[in-house]
Structure 1
Amino acid sequence: MTWRMGRVSSVVTVTPAPSLDYTLTPLSGDQYTSCLCGSERKTLSWTMAPSALGVVNVSVSAEAVTSQISCDNEVVSVPERGRIDVVTRPLIVKAEGTEVTNTYNWLLCPKGQALTEEVDIELPENIAGSARASVSVLGDILGRALENLDGLLQMPYGCGEQNMALLAPDIYILEYLRDTQQLTPAIRNKATNFLTSGYQRQLNYKDNDGAYSTFGAGPGNTWLTAFVLRSFAKAQTFIYIDPANIEASVTWLKRVSDEVTLSAYITAAFLEMNMYIDDPAVHGPVKASLSCLKESISDLSNTYATALLAYVFTLAGDMETRAHLLGHLDAVALREGGFLHWSQTATETSASLSVETSSYVLLAKLSASPTAEDLGYASRIVRWLTSQQNYYGGFSSTQDTVVALQALALYSTLVFSPEGSSTVTVRSPRGQLVFRVNRNNKLLYQEKQLQDVTGKYSLEVKGTACAAIQISLVYNIPTPAADTTLSVLVEPEADCTSKIPKLSLELTSLYSGKESSTNMVILDIKMLSGFVPDPESLNMLKGALLVDRVEQKEDHVLVYIRELQKDRRINHSLTLVQEYQVQNLKPAVVKIYDYYQPSDQSDTAYIDPCVTA
């Protein structure tokens, strides 16, 4: 605290506000009532023991009080104004271990009769009071994504593809709102601001020849360039896109030849832009690509490629080939209740790939004047897709989120009806919550906290409007010893006698899967409480082996590793510096995961060895 009263001295008492969220214990050496002369500064400390998780507001007041004692032989004074000052600061209290988020999603369309669902929510043991749950309701399946345009994924956004993962869904949602006459000036301004800033950021990843690369340096990335091209072409409706940027990317892509799925993706980009018809220079390459792709359909063992090809030939107007591909896809579809989806193989566990594959089937079904039967078939895919959405309205990774939201936007446009209303009732062991959905609040994000985290919940929707319902459950568990193809070994080292507490982390990353190498891998290093990364060490890490980028985000350091070779250990190091001491220090977690298959991940906990010594 600093006393700013010229040369006047006062006796000041400093008092923390009482709270149920924490306990502040005075330190024996501090005087909490003392003299303070003009412009003098004193520091007072407490030991804080939080008793609640989340954002805790800590308030402390300083008050000039009357006193019989003198300060430096001066009579103390109490000012008439400014006698009390109160400072409040937020403190984030996090649970130890690994955070787990489970979402339960339903899309219920009652059509006049009541629809009900039940779910029994259970928690694992050893979660140490960290569990919290909420229920949210929307009248539109794209409303959740609209609410979180700037953060559909809980993933880093430090490269060209990740920037596009922010930009592209924005376009599809804008198109949907425009086509259904729900686009208000406020939403348009918010979304176009995102688009404009995203467009400008993406130009940082553009090469002189029109291609785009992951980090703005190195060879052009074919998939990313096609992704940017198809997105910029659509964005032109809402913001200014320099035509020269589009033309340069088209010219670069025309020179590229690649394997089936990548060729199909590029062809889809041209077809979505209608360049097959409008641009004679593109007509030839697209026609040749379609001919080549048609030859590949003798082997339909790759379900993802088959779904993408079905969409491509739908856009090309080749109904015979489309029917053949969709017929095969229907035969290998996974059916469960009213849900319909696809996976690469019967044992495939990648939710991301299943979402992307199912989304391409949905796009193929809906992109050629769909019949009522097609819409009914599509609704079963939509029910499954919406059941996979995360808390923010996205999915697992960048690619599946972009394709799924494109498909959901198309479906929502085709089945949109401004009429109807519904009442949603959520019953729990200790009461019920009621939400109302109508034409005036279809896009309104309604969320309420659940008092009972566990137990049996029943949902009931009455009325004539669809309701998208999500129960979100968040809790922390002890860091699991996961058996995955990716792993990270963390070896902390420290000199416990040093006057400047430092901690060196030696990190060993390993891939042991069946492929020869991985995709891009993210190493997410969470700081111990009270520690920050050493700036010099952080700079050295940026130039380390296979490291393309390093970001610092709140109390995490994110390391982008280009790839890991099978069974080859890669070592990195990072030094942490202690800023302030924390009693009862808990372990922090280092996570390693495949950026494109986030389910392939592993967590490792570490602690300061001086704490356990």
Structure 2
Amino acid sequence: MYRMTLPLIATHYLDSTNQWDTVGMERRNDAINHISTGYQGQLKYRKTDGSYAIYIETASSTWLTAYVAKVFAMANNLVSIEENVICSALKWLVLHKQLPDGSFKEDSAVISRGMVGGVQGNDADASLTAFVVIAMQEASKICAESVGSLPESIRKAVVFLEGRFPQLTNPYAVAMTSYAMANANKLNKGILMRHSTQKEAGRSWTVPGQHHHSLEATAYAVLALVKDKDFDKAGEAVHWLNRQQTHYGAYGTTQATIMVFQAVAEYRTQVKDRQNFNLDVELSVAGRSTPVKWAIRRENAHLTRSDRVNINQDFNVTAKGTGKAILSVLTLYYARPVEKKSDCTFFDLTVKMEKDNEGAIASYNFTMDFFYKDDKTDATMTILDIGLPTGFEVEESDLKEVLETERIVFRMHQMHNVGQLQPAAVTIYEYYSPGELFNDLCTINTAVAATAKPVIMSVLTSLFCCFSLQYIFGEHTWIEYWPTRAESQTPEHRERYIGITDLQNSLSNYGCAT
């Protein structure tokens, strides 16, 4: 689902803020194609009653069904989506998951934190109900006629949330419930603001120890305040959200990303005619005779300005006029890697290979021990990706006998001699958190004397998290120049930049096809 969500929210944001010129108008068609492909892929998990589950053979999930309905409703004006696909999901929620008191129940929870966000935290009954109600509210224009009970279902849920609202203690639940109630014109802004934190960086709804949940909560609060036309308070929260964004535009988890972009897009759409931007910014760099000047006005306030300064140069930024802007400084430098234990918080992985005699050129017992370290959630869908050195085959009968959940043992036979063996990677990660991975590289030392000494197996431990890469060069490797974003504006580099960037996005979203 996330493969559809990310291009969808990016398209929604760029459409709402008129910023396609900053990334290239031609890329909108690529985004639409990804959304359409993601939609078709998600339909494989749709059941005959309109609900959805992580696996088609498992029980349907209340949260996932509501989430799919929300995303499909958002994509409805971008790609061709059957109305019944959206509305049957809402009908299933009304008929099968709403309790007499108006709340919604979950019988098959999606455990992945990165996917569901903070719905399963404290005050989960209110959070889940608010999440479902928001999905219904955002899809109500599409399904009001085909799902006749939808307005009454929303009303009952809002009444439940009104009763629970004064008792809530979790800022996440407070913010999400506030948005659902604001959509029904029943926002209690006093309670919402009491759970916020005001600092120099802006206003936020902070969930202790859960930064991504704080991002989500603050985004829901922005949507509620914008709905209430309190653009000053919403602006304080948007200011905080903007300062949490990385230099590469990311917010972390899928839920944090989709909610932050939805909230900021809604805020900028509503306030663009109310802002008085007349800001002049000047960047002076030591050694340069002429400063860089930027004139920020209402019509171009959404554009990002950038310049490159050498690390040994002093610079000074001055601004005058009316308006707000955020200055970010990204420092790039070379540093020697420091050997340390894995940064990965989810998994530990140990790989061991022992020489065996099975009649092949060489045979080994391949043993992997692994366990999930996070004590707050369970690993729902763990992927173990095992690469084989060139010329090796696996004893398939061993794989069929694998029964242990935290150890895999099988034999591997070298069937062909290879002049220069490349390392083979063994990677473990959770499907919905691909950035949190643990990777070991296994290499064979081929510089062995022609005596009866055993072949030496060595494990080069390279601990990767967040897509840190190690590059292995061979006879089929070549190097391409990757133009910078600034160089992409020139005819000489534009086509190459677009091509490589498209390849990067494709690999990030869908992986390697071979």
TM-score of the pair, normalised by structure 1: 0.54
Q: Show the counterpart of 2:160.
A: 292
Amino acid at match of 2:463: V
Residue pair 1:424, 1:435 contacting (<8 A) in 2 also? yes
* Counterpart for residue 507 of structure 1: 369
Q: 1-side partners of 2:149 and 2:279: how far apart?
A: 52
Matches within 5 A, 1:265-304: 265-274=131-140, 279-304=147-172
Q: Aligned equivalents of 1:580 and 1:205: distance in 2? A: 47
Aligned with 2:48: secondary structure?
coil
Aligned counterpart in structure 1 of residue 430 of structure 2, from 550, 560, 571 = 560
Q: What's the offset of the Cα at 1:290?
A: 1.9
Percent identity for Structure 1 against Structure 2: 20
Instruction: Compute the displacement of 1:313 (Å).
Output: 0.5
Is contact 2:53-2:64 (8 Å) kept?
yes
**In structure 1, what is the equivalent of residue 292 of structure 2?**
434
| TM superposition shift of 1:299 | 1.7
Instruction: Give 1:303's aligned amino acid.
Output: P
Aligned counterparts, 1:227-242, within 5 A: 227-242=67-82
Given candidates 210, 214, 221, the residue that maps to 2:61 is 221
The alignment partner of 2:328 has SS state of: strand
Contact 1:163 1:198 in 2 (8 A): yes
Q: CA separation in 1, counterparts of 2:21 and 2:338? A: 48
Q: Please name the residue that 1:488 is paired with.
A: 348
The match for 2:421 is: none
1:297: how far off? 2.2
Cα offset, 1:424, TM superposition: 4.6
**Take 1:533 and 1:178, find their aligned partners in 2: how far apart are those partners?**
53
- Give CA deviations for 1:407-446 in whole Å, capped at 9, x if unaligned: 0101111222599675555567776983646678766665
2:41 corresponds, among 186, 196, 201, to 201
Q: Tell me the residue number matched to 1:403.
A: 259
- 1:282-305, CA deviations, whole angstroms, 9 ceiling, x for partnerless residues? 123222222222232242212111
> 2:14 touches 2:20 (CA, 8 Å); kept in 1?
no
Return the alpha-carbon distance in structure 2 between the equivalents of residues 187 and 419 of structure 1.
Answer: 31
Distance (Å, rounded) in 2 between the aligned partners of 1:533 and 1:524: 21
Residue 342 in structure 1 maps to residue 201 in structure 2: no
The residue number in structure 2 matching 1:328 is 191
Matches within 5 A, 1:434-453: 434=292, 436=294, 448-452=307-311
Contact 2:441/2:461 (<8 A) preserved: no
Q: Secondary structure at the match of 2:369?
A: strand
Q: Would the aligned equivalents of 1:487 and 1:510 in 2 still touch at CA under 8 Å?
A: yes
Query: Per-residue deviation at 1:195?
Result: 2.3
- Is the contact between residue 505 and residue 574 of structure 1 (CA under 8 Å) also seen in structure 2? no
Matches within 5 A, 1:53-452: 160=1, 162-177=2-17, 186=26, 188-254=28-94, 255-256=96-97, 257-258=104-105, 259-274=125-140, 279-318=147-186, 322-323=187-188, 326-344=189-207, 348-368=208-228, 370=229, 374-416=230-272, 424-425=281-282, 434=292, 436=294, 448-452=307-311
Asked if the contact 2:49–2:88 (Cα under 8 Å) also holds between the matched residues in 1, the reply is yes
3-state SS in 2 of match to 1:509: strand
Please state whether the residue corresponding to 1:472 is helix, strand or coil.
Answer: coil
- SS of 1:478's equivalent in the other structure is coil
Q: Is the 8 A contact 2:9 2:262 kept in 1?
A: yes
By how many angstroms is 1:330 displaced?
A: 1.9
Distance 1:447 1:264, change over 3 A: same
> What amino acid is the match of 1:387?
R
- Between structures 1 and 2, the one with greater helix share: 2
Q: SS state of the match for residue 589, structure 1? A: coil
Contact 2:8 2:31 in 1 (8 A): no
The verdict on how the C-alpha distance between 1:313 and 1:590 changes in structure 2, with shifts beyond 3 A counting, is: same
Deviation of the 1:231 alpha carbon: 1.9
Paired residue type of 1:312: A
Aligned residues: 401
CA contact (8 A) 1:537 1:574 kept: no
Paired residue type of 1:559: Y
Q: Which runs of 5+ in 2 are unaligned?
A: 98-103, 106-124, 407-423, 448-457, 471-514
- C-alpha contact 2:277 2:322 (8 A) present in aligned 1: yes
CA distance in 2: counterparts of 1:293 and 1:311, whole angstroms = 11
In the alignment, the residues of structure 2 paired with residue 335 and residue 419 of structure 1 have an alpha-carbon distance, to the nearest angstrom, of 24
CA contact (8 A) 1:532 1:577 kept: no
Normalized against structure 2, the TM-score is what? Answer: 0.63
Task: Report if the CA contact (8 A) 2:22-2:303 is conserved.
Answer: no
Query: How many Å apart are 1:309 and its aligned residue?
Result: 0.6
Q: How far 1:456 moved relative to its partner?
A: 7.4
* Residues 35-50 of structure 1 mapped to structure 2, 5 A cutoff: none
Q: Distance in 2 between matches of 1:181 and 1:426?
A: 24
Higher RCO (Cα < 8 Å, 6 or more apart): 1
Contact 2:19 2:303 in 1 (8 A): no
**SS of equivalent residue, structure 2 residue 250:** coil
Q: Which residue identity lines up with residue 63 of structure 2 in the other structure?
A: W
**Structure with the higher fraction of residues in strand conformation:** 1
What is the distance in 1 between the residues matched to 2:393 and 2:183?
51
**How far off is 1:251 after superposition?**
2.0
**Shift in CA distance, 178/458, structure 1 to aligned 2, threshold 3 Å:** closer
Letter in 1 for 2:370: T
After superposition, the Cα gap between the structure-2 partners of 1:507 and 1:546, relative to the gap in structure 1 and judged at 3 Å, is closer
Task: Judge conservation of contact 2:197–2:204 (CA < 8 Å) in 1.
Answer: yes
Q: CA deviation at 1:377?
A: 1.4
Partners of 1:532 and 1:579 within 8 A in 2: no
Q: Distance in 1 between matches of 2:249 and 2:285?
A: 24
Cα separation, 2, equivalents of 1:450 and 1:267: 49
Which SS does the other structure have where 2:329 is aligned? strand
Answering whether residue 465 of structure 2 is matched by residue 588 of structure 1, we say: no
One-letter amino acid of the structure 2 residue matched with residue 408 of structure 1: V
Greater radius of gyration (CA): 1
Residue type of the alignment partner of 1:414: Q
Q: Structure 2 vs 1, CA of residues 380 and 504 (structure 1 numbering), >3 Å: closer, same or farther?
A: farther
Q: CA deviation at 1:247?
A: 2.3
How many Å apart are 1:270 and its aligned residue? 0.8
3-state SS, counterpart of residue 330 of structure 2: strand
Q: Give 3-state SS (helix, strand or coil) of 1:470's partner.
A: coil
In the other structure, the counterpart of 2:417 is none
Please list every run of 5 or more consecutive structure 1 residues that lacks an aligned counterpart in the other structure.
Answer: 1-159, 548-553, 564-571, 606-613
Q: Distance in 1 between matches of 2:48 and 2:10?
A: 27
Decide which of 328, 331, 336 is 1:470's aligned counterpart.
328
> What residue number does 1:131 align with?
none
Measured in 2, the distance between the counterparts of 1:524 and 1:585 equals: 17
Q: Say if 1:180 and 1:416, in contact at 8 Å, map to a contact too.
A: no
Of residues 280-289 and 434-443 in structure 1, the stretch that sits farther from structure 2 once superposed is: 434-443
CA displacement at 1:268 relative to structure 2: 0.8
Judge which range, 276-285 or 218-227, deviates more: 276-285
Q: What is the CA-CA distance between 1:315 and the residue it aligns to?
A: 0.6
